[in-house]
Amino acid sequence: MLALQQISNFGTSTPAIARTTIQGDKILNFFNCSEEQKNNAIIVLWNLQRHLLKCHEICIPIESEILAGRANIESKSLKSPGSNYINLPSVLDLESKTEAFIGSAKLAIIETGNLIKPFYANYFEGEKDFQGHNFHKLIEWSSKKFGIEDRFTLMLQAAEPNVKKIVDMRNAVEHPKQNKRLITKNFELIENTNSAFISEPKWGLSNEQMTALLPDLHNIIEGILTLGEAVIIELFHKFKADFPGLFIDEIPVEKRNPECPCRISVTCTFQ
């Protein structure tokens, strides 16, 4: 008897699926590596996909409630008839949702670093405590192995500030300190001397300026996806098959298949 089982609410039209396992599998076919290395890389991409889908799943209701709140504000229908009170919009259980989001985001970041492991196992065997989010260690390793001007090293250096920001936010949840906590604010009524307005949800570390929540959530998901792709691209340049004319090409947004919107592919110019 055959058995079918649904394991996700999302399909290939979701970028977190199209741009991880599906896209990665196609690119890995052009690597000059063992089948074991490829399979291990696919496992890492699967875990990256899983954590990014969790971020996406958490983001959906937050976005829906923020957009609904924004529409109510714009329609000016918040004030209760015959009273001085307004029905302030809100995102339910916002703090728990954002904490879960940033936790999954860090797990996804770890997998972007782990993508290197199948191809440079000797280094990672000597780093028993290494975690994929330790980009400062990856930078040190890449600088020694390839050089400080190597494109792999430069890519890791460019990514490290954003990686650190996400890790710091997650650490502020798991290991809060008096001067560094993750603060999340829901819709708020802001009253000044001559005016009042409703601010949308925002967040930030307690020692930094807060920023709008919804754009940040989208940017984090997109940023981790792009980082995973950047690692795959640099690995491609190190391990691409010995065949002339192979290069990575970015697919323009308007030409991406909406049913499976992969962003990068391998192209051959050799005729």
pLDDT tens, 178-235?
Answer: 778 999 999 998 887 777 788 999 999 998 899 999 999 999 999 999 999 999 999 9
Question: For the chain, what percent of residues have pLDDT higher than 90?
Answer: 72
Among 238, 237, 249, 245, smallest CA distance to 268 is for 245
Tally of CA atoms within 13 A in the half-sphere of 2 that contains its CB? 1
C-alpha distance from residue 162 to each of 35, 135, 227 (Å): 32, 10, 10
pLDDT digits (tens, 9 = 90+) for 34-83: 999 999 999 999 999 999 999 999 999 999 999 999 988 887 766 666 56
Alpha helices in 29-176 (DSSP H): 35-75, 94-114, 121-125, 135-145, 151-174
C-alpha distance from residue 75 to each of 52, 70, 105, 109, 242 (Å): 34, 9, 34, 40, 62
Domain ranges, ordered by start, for the chain: 15-76+85-177+211-268
Q: In terms of residues, how long is the chain?
A: 271
Q: Work out the number of other CB atoms within 10 angstroms of the CB of residue 62.
A: 20
* Residue 259: both structure tokens together: 């049913």
Whether the full predicted model's pTM is greater than 0.85, yes or no, is yes
229-232 contact pairs (CB < 8 A, 24+): 229/19, 229/23, 229/263, 229/264, 230/155, 230/159, 231/112, 231/113, 231/115, 231/116, 231/155, 232/24, 232/27, 232/28, 232/115, 232/264
What pLDDT, on a 0 to 100 scale, did the predictor assign at position 244?
A: 80
Res. 124: pLDDT tops 80: no
Contact 140, 252 (CB under 8 A): no
Measured distance CA(113)–CA(51) in Å, rounded:
14
Measured distance CA(37)–CA(28) in Å, rounded:
10
